[in-house]
Amino acid sequence: MKNDAITPNYDAWTRLPVFYLPVTLGDVLVGYLWGSQNGNSAGFFTNMAFGADRVKSAVYWNDRLEECYRMGLTPAEAIRYWVGKPEDPRFGGIAGDAEMGEARTIQELALRLNPDHPIGEGPWVQDGTFPSGSPEDRSEGFSAIAPVPTSIYPDETGSAVIYLSVILKGTIVGYVWASVSDDAAGYIPRAAVGDVGVVAGGLWRARLIDAHRTGLSALDAVRRCRSLPANAAGTFGEIQPIPEQQTPSLSELRRVADQS
């Protein structure tokens, strides 16, 4: 795998209201390009009915947002930037007369587009704040954050584990894993990519939490990850359609993550 530096981009999650614009290819809805109204988040939700190109369309439009980020545009400016630009023959564009929409949350917007594919709540810290609204930066005079118990799979096991590699721009950034004989599961970032692997884990841990809430076993939860829609693949990566792998122990997988 190549070890290219990961280009900075907008945050991929927000709890703030968002603007959005429809991306179309002729009469076909490809997805929604969205940006937070007051924060620093933007992304693209692919229409799951778009067909074989739906994953590549997400990569294409997240790359377009990356261009806007490098230009210094706000999220709202970034999605407006593409209005009326020539339509890509494969991944569409935003028509000159497209109407700007609004949604209270990105979860609400995702469900408007794909009612059968909820995206979960995302990482604990979004928009620089915790779910309570208190800032991540404790220098503002707030006391230290007390952990909030969350119903999750155990993160330790003595058994063998299966794992799936999370790929971001051609590089492995982490591993989603599950025990083969008990109900443990989790995500391990790859040390060689630094904070990029940690950030990517926000989506995959959130998806494991969602799966636990629905009662899925750890193995089913991890295997389900490969069938979920790509979500800001330029930040969180994706699981490619290759066979799952297995190690004799979780400690062995951690060794691989630390040394590879």
Distance CA 118, CA 85 (A): 30
Q: Which has the higher per-residue pLDDT, 90 or 207?
A: 90
SS3 assignment, position 182: coil
What is the Cα 103 distance to its own chain's centre?
19
- The winner for highest mean pLDDT among 49-58, 89-98, 134-143, 193-202 is 89-98
Average pLDDT over residues 79-93: 95
Distance CA 209, CA 50 (A): 28
Distance CA 122, CA 205 (A): 8
What is the pLDDT at residue 137? Answer: 56
- Phi, psi angle pair for 213, to nearest 5°: -65, -30
Lowest mean pLDDT among 26-35, 163-172, 201-210, 212-221: 201-210
Q: Which two tokens stand for residue 158?
A: 């003595």
Mean of all residue pLDDT scores within the chain:
86
Distance CA 47, CA 155 (A): 33
Give the count of alpha carbons within 13 A of 117, CB side only. 16
Distance CA 64, CA 31 (A): 14
pLDDT at 168 over 50: yes
- pLDDT tens readout for residues 15-36: 999 999 999 999 999 999 999 9
SS3 assignment, position 93: strand
Q: How confident is the model at residue 134 (pLDDT cuts 50, 70, 90)?
A: low
Neighbours of 66 (CB within 10 A): 18
pLDDT at 132 over 70: no
pLDDT at 85 over 50: yes
What is the pLDDT at residue 54? Answer: 85
In 3D space, the residue among 81, 89, 42 whose CA is nearest the CA of residue 62 turns out to be 42
253, amino acid identity = L
